[in-house]
């Protein structure tokens, strides 16, 4: 092998493939004993390819083409990502597979829409960063089995499929999910809304320049997410917002929520830059209670200072990091011409900065302390958006295989909601974030056996085995049969 100009690493690779375990040190000593004392000359990539072809020692592995699983061929294989199969009982329990089948998402000639959507979701569930880096998952049979495929489609197929998805199809799918979750009683009377500027690293596909966290003008998109206050389920997302229509997003959200659930929202909590006072007047006329922050000006700061000089009240609130703090506040009423003739309730909160925070609301029934606590829970959705960015990697949408951004966010929302459903089935883990749940329960391997009648998943032993088994039994006592 050394005479064929193969390096020590090349020789070791060939021997390992033949089952001959020899260390590189032993190979080096053998070469020295036979007079090969000099290093091989530096070779270009072209020289290495020609040497490999002439010696016929390297075989290029071609990833198989994706196709639907057929149960006629009985087989058993190793499953590096077998833990992702734990989401199938949840999909069965809530009928989410039927929601995908009945959606208007397209399908290909060889792959059904259910398999295509589950293929995207599978990569989100394991925290895949960049889709065109498909060498890490294109041979993973367990991810393919999750989507009823032999293997997942390649990154190029993912990109081409997402390019055919429209915003209307995404919002229709989200509305179907809301209808299902509402039937299971997962929604409360309060929805928290927030948006985040997420930097886009790919080609400029009609993006706008916005201020990032570092106050720099960067090419980015603005993602809006609405989350139920109690269950943590995300009920709405939108990544198609431009400067021209950003003030009306809250009106679209209320309309889609009512159409999908048939329920009206009692409270909406959102950031001060979310909409205008004119739109707040519309919410008030429709009987929707809102809680938001008013933009500060010199007159409001002076008014706050005067009120805070009196005897302010105190309330303890929870922060996003699960710690608590005590804040002081005072309240007053005001009338703003942009809002109309109705009064607005102002609550001035002492902050650690120089200027106070000013909450405005049209709710005059709740105590001020309760309103402050409701607004403080908006910080939790900011944590959720952070999880979307970091675990589901919605800002890793790079140019070589950039997905439809709104579709990518919709799939992230779907994956996040699956993690929330999983957390609800696991006692003592109800408030864990997706990354924690993934590390404890999902990141595990095993074997998958396909027979004529079923797919048998054998996971390796984990210390939380009893929790996992009880979750599966509660979701589907007689086994898991996914609608396809």
Domain-located, residue 396: no
- DSSP letter at 26? H
Q: What is the DSSP string of 214-258?
A: TS-EEEEEEEEEEEETTT--EEEEEEEE-TTTGGGHHHHHHHHHH
Domain boundary among 329, 358, 389: 389
**What is the C-alpha to C-alpha distance for residues 36 and 33, in angstroms, rounded to an integer?**
7
- DSSP letter at 68? B
Half-sphere CA count of 186, side-chain side, radius 13 A: 21
Half-sphere CA count of 300, side-chain side, radius 13 A: 21
Same domain? 207 vs 224: yes
Same domain? 318 vs 206: yes
> C-alpha dihedral over 314, 320, 322, 326, to 10 degrees?
-10
Half-sphere CA count of 238, side-chain side, radius 13 A: 23
Looking at 45-107, list the stretches that DSSP marks H as alpha helix, in order from N- to C-terminal side.
45-55, 88-94, 96-101
Total count of domains within the chain: 3
Give the pLDDT score at 139. Answer: 79
Give the pLDDT score at 59. Answer: 59
Burial 409-436 (b: 16+ CB within 10 A, else e): bbbbbbbbbbbbbbbbbbeebeebbbee
- DSSP letter at 203? -
Give the pLDDT score at 414. Answer: 94
Same domain? 271 vs 203: yes
- DSSP letter at 439? I
**What is the C-alpha to C-alpha distance for residues 342 and 99, in angstroms, rounded to an integer?**
43
Domain-located, residue 398: no
The list of the chain residues with pLDDT below 50 reads: 213, 398-401, 483-484
Give this prediction's pTM: 0.81
Closest-CA residue to 383 (of 332, 415, 346, 431): 431
Give the pLDDT score at 398. Answer: 43
Domain, as residue range, for 95:
75-165+404-475
Same domain? 205 vs 342: yes
* pLDDT tens, position by position, 3-25: 888 888 888 878 877 778 889 99
**What is the C-alpha to C-alpha distance for residues 317 and 347, in angstroms, rounded to an integer?**
15
Query: Tokens 């002076």 belong to which residue?
Result: 302
Instruction: Residue 241: count other Cβ atoms within 10 Å of its Cβ.
Output: 19
Same domain? 107 vs 179: no
CA atoms 357, 233, 195, 443: torsion sign: positive
CB of 288 closer than 8 Å to CB of 268: yes
Same domain? 335 vs 187: yes
Give the pLDDT score at 290. Answer: 92
Same domain? 290 vs 363: yes
Here the tokens at position 48 are: 């290495």
Domain boundary among 389, 413, 437: 389
Domain-located, residue 69: no
CA distances from 49 to 17, 56, 60, 265, 447 (A): 19, 10, 11, 64, 36
Give the pLDDT score at 400. Answer: 39
**What is the C-alpha to C-alpha distance for residues 81 and 442, in angstroms, rounded to an integer?**
8
Residues 6+ apart with CB under 8 A from 218: 197, 199, 209, 210, 211, 212
Give the pLDDT score at 484. Answer: 38
**What is the C-alpha to C-alpha distance for residues 55 and 34, in angstroms, rounded to an integer?**
21
Domain-located, residue 119: yes
Same domain? 385 vs 408: no
Same domain? 329 vs 456: no
* pLDDT tens, position by position, 30-82: 999 998 888 888 878 777 777 766 766 555 656 678 888 877 667 888 888 88
Domain-located, residue 181: yes
CA diameter of the chain: 98
Q: Which helix (H) or strand (E) element contains residue 390?
A: helix 378-390
**What is the C-alpha to C-alpha distance for residues 449 and 180, in angstroms, rounded to an integer?**
32
CA distances from 320 to 148, 235, 243, 382 (A): 38, 20, 28, 8
Give the pLDDT score at 171. Answer: 95
Domain-located, residue 315: yes
Same domain? 304 vs 415: no
Give the pLDDT score at 258. Answer: 92
Domain boundary among 326, 359, 389: 389
Q: Which helix (H) or strand (E) element contains residue 420?
A: helix 405-424
**Which residues lie across from 456 on neighbouring strands?**
449
Q: What are phi and psi of 133, to 5 degrees?
A: -85, 65
Q: Which helix (H) or strand (E) element contains residue 195?
A: strand 190-199
Domain-located, residue 363: yes
Domain-located, residue 397: no
> Alpha carbon 236 to chain centroid distance?
13
Same domain? 280 vs 223: yes
**What is the C-alpha to C-alpha distance for residues 422 and 409, in angstroms, rounded to an integer?**
20
**What is the C-alpha to C-alpha distance for residues 389 and 386, in angstroms, rounded to an integer?**
5
Sheet of 446-450, strands arranged across: 75-79, 446-450, 455-459
CATH of the domain at 198: 3.90.350.10
**What is the C-alpha to C-alpha distance for residues 176 and 96, in angstroms, rounded to an integer?**
9
Same domain? 161 vs 171: no
């Amino acid at each position: 092998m050394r005479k064929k100009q193969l390096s020590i690493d090349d020789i070791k690779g060939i021997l390992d493939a033949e089952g001959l375990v020899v260390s590189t040190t032993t190979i080096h000593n053998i070469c020295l004993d036979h007079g090969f004392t000099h290093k091989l000359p530096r070779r270009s990539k072209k020289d290495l390819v020609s040497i490999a072809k002439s010696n016929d020692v390297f075989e290029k592995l071609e990833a198989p083409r994706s196709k639907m699983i057929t149960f006629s061929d009985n087989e058993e294989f190793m499953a590096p990502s077998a833990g992702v199969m734990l989401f199938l009982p949840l999909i069965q329990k809530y009928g989410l597979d039927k929601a995908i089948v009945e959606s208007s998402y397209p399908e290909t000639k060889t792959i059904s829409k259910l398999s295509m959507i589950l293929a995207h979701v599978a990569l989100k569930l394991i925290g895949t960063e960049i889709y065109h880096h498909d060498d890490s998952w294109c041979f993973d049979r367990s991810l393919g089995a999750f989507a009823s495929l032999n293997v997942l489609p390649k990154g190029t197929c993912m990109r081409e499929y997402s390019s055919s998805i429209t915003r209307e199809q995404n919002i229709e799918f989200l509305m179907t999910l809301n209808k299902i979750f509402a039937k299971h009683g997962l929604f409360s009377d309060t929805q928290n809304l927030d948006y985040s500027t997420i930097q886009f690293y790919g080609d400029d596909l009609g993006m706008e320049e916005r201020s990032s966290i570092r106050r720099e003008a960067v090419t980015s998109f603005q993602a809006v997410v609405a989350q139920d206050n109690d269950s943590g389920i995300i009920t709405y997302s939108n990544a198609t917002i431009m400067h021209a229509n950003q003030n009306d997003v809250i009106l679209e959200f209320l309309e889609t929520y009512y159409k999908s659930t048939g329920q009206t929202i009692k409270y909406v909590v959102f950031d001060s830059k979310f909409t205008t006072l004119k739109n707040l007047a519309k919410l008030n006329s429709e009987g929707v209670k809102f809680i938001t922050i008013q933009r500060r000006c010199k007159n409001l700061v002076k008014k706050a200072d005067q009120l805070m000089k009196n005897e302010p009240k105190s309330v303890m609130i929870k922060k996003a990091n699960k710690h608590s703090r005590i804040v002081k506040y005072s309240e007053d009423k005001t009338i703003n011409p942009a809002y109309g003739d109705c009064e607005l309730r102002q609550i001035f909160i002492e902050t650690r900065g120089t200027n106070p925070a000013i909450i405005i609301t049209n709710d005059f029934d709740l105590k001020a302390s309760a309103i402050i606590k409701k607004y403080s829970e908006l910080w939790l959705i900011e944590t959720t958006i952070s999880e979307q960015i970091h675990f589901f990697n919605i800002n890793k949408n790079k140019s070589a295989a950039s997905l439809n951004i709104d579709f990518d966010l919709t799939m992230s929302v779907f994956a996040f909601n699956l993690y929330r459903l999983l957390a609800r089935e696991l006692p003592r883990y109800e408030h864990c974030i997706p990354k924690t749940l993934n590390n404890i329960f999902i990141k595990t391997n095993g074997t998958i056996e396909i027979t004529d009648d079923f797919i048998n998943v054998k996971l390796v032993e984990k210390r939380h085995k009893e929790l996992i088994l009880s979750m599966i039994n509660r979701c589907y006592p007689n086994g898991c049969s996914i609608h396809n």
